[in-house]
Chains A and B, each alone.
Chain A
Amino acid sequence: MVPLSYYLVLSGILFACGVAGFLIKRNIITIFMSIELMLNGVNLSFVAFAAHWHALAGQVFVFFVMVVAAAEAAVGLAIIIAVYRTRETLNVDQVNLLKL
């Protein structure tokens, strides 16, 4: 038997790793992967709370989070390709204009 707080602490650690990666990484694709890591941390706490409160709605929310993550990944990677085509770099320090 695992207390609920253990799951919450694990999800917090994953979320914090995602935030740290978002802040310290310089490659735009790795920054994008850090966002996925944050979403995964949130999903874990959703499922843990669903099991704790006996509410299946939590698992349905995880399903919706995954749908949004998939849509976000498709559009975000398309934007990365468009940025790379005009700038020839993936370093966010050199991408300082929103203009494509």
Chain B
Amino acid sequence: MSVHLILFLAFGAVAVAGAINLLAQTHPINSALSLIAVMAALAGEYLLLGAEFVAAVQVIVYAGAIMVLFVFVIMLLNAGVEERTKGSRVAVIFGVPGMLLGSLLVAWVVIRHSGTEAVAAGALPGDPKTIGDLLFHEFLLPFEITSILILIAIMGAVVLASKPPTAPPPIPAPRKVD
């Protein structure tokens, strides 16, 4: 076992454990914290694949910005423990074995047919300079379009989250001037 494989398995175990914990927890704040663990572990996987820029952005944007937004909303709305509703029995009888069978089939096909060709550690220069070069030359138009998308998202968030307009105070009638 190479160091690369050991690191892959360690980060992968943390990611899968966090994902399962997200499902198992009933309080949303616990789910949010386990999602942050998943994202940090995935940043480690990206570093193993040589994607340094993506790993940094994963930590800063995903684990930093987006999850802070989630935690803010959970606290703002004072979200409590979720109520469990009983699922249908058909889903338990057919859903769980079906999902296990399907995932085993997919894993078998992927491992069988995608070859055993290994991905070398740091095979690709994923540093910010190379990514920026690509982003501002080849992908310039999509990059500019995303700025419009973000502008629309900002306006949408402000409009949706702002207080609904209350009725304006009645305008006082002008006083008669003698």
State the interface size on chain B (CB cutoff 8 A): 82
Q: Specify the chain A residue showing the minimal Cβ separation from B77.
A: A84
Q: Specify the chain A residue showing the minimal Cβ separation from B24.
A: A21
- Report if A73-B66 is in contact (Cβ < 8 Å); known contacts: A1-B120, A47-B51, A67-B149: yes
Q: Is B90 an interface residue (CB 8 A)?
A: no
CB within 8 Å of A: which of B21-80?
22-23, 28, 31-32, 35, 38-39, 42, 45-46, 48-51, 53-54, 57-58, 61-62, 65-66, 69-70, 73-74, 76-77, 79
- Report if A71-B153 is in contact (Cβ < 8 Å); known contacts: A2-B5, A2-B8, A2-B119: yes
Residue pair A36, B66 in contact (C-beta under 8 Å): yes
Q: Which residues of B contact A13 (CB under 8 A)?
A: 16, 19, 103
Residue pair B66, A93 in contact (C-beta under 8 Å): no
Residue pair A3, B19 in contact (C-beta under 8 Å): no
Smallest distance from the beta carbon of B16 to chain A beta carbons, Å? 6
Partner of A7, one of B45, B58, B130, B146: B45
Q: Is B101 an interface residue (CB 8 A)?
A: no
Q: Which residues of B contact A81 (CB under 8 A)?
A: 73, 76-77, 160-161
Q: Specify the chain A residue showing the minimal Cβ separation from B126.
A: A59
Q: Which residues of A contact B2 (CB under 8 A)?
A: 1
Smallest distance from the beta carbon of B153 to chain A beta carbons, Å? 4
Residue pair A70, B65 in contact (C-beta under 8 Å): yes
Give Cα A48 to B124, complex, Å: 11
Residue pair B114, A5 in contact (C-beta under 8 Å): yes
Partner of B53, one of A8, A12, A59, A78: A59
Q: Specify the chain A residue showing the minimal Cβ separation from B103.
A: A16
Residue pair B66, A57 in contact (C-beta under 8 Å): no
Q: Specify the chain B residue showing the minimal Cβ separation from A9.
A: B107
CB within 8 Å of A: which of B94-124?
99, 103, 106-107, 110-111, 114-121, 123-124
B residues sitting closer than 8 Å to A (CB atoms) are: 2, 4-5, 8, 12, 15-16, 19-20, 22-23, 28, 31-32, 35, 38-39, 42, 45-46, 48-51, 53-54, 57-58, 61-62, 65-66, 69-70, 73-74, 76-77, 79, 82-85, 87, 99, 103, 106-107, 110-111, 114-121, 123-126, 130-131, 134-135, 138-139, 142, 146, 149-150, 152-154, 156-161, 164
What are 11 A-B pairs at a CB distance below 8 A? A4-B119, A8-B114, A24-B87, A36-B66, A47-B51, A57-B139, A60-B131, A66-B58, A67-B146, A70-B65, A81-B73
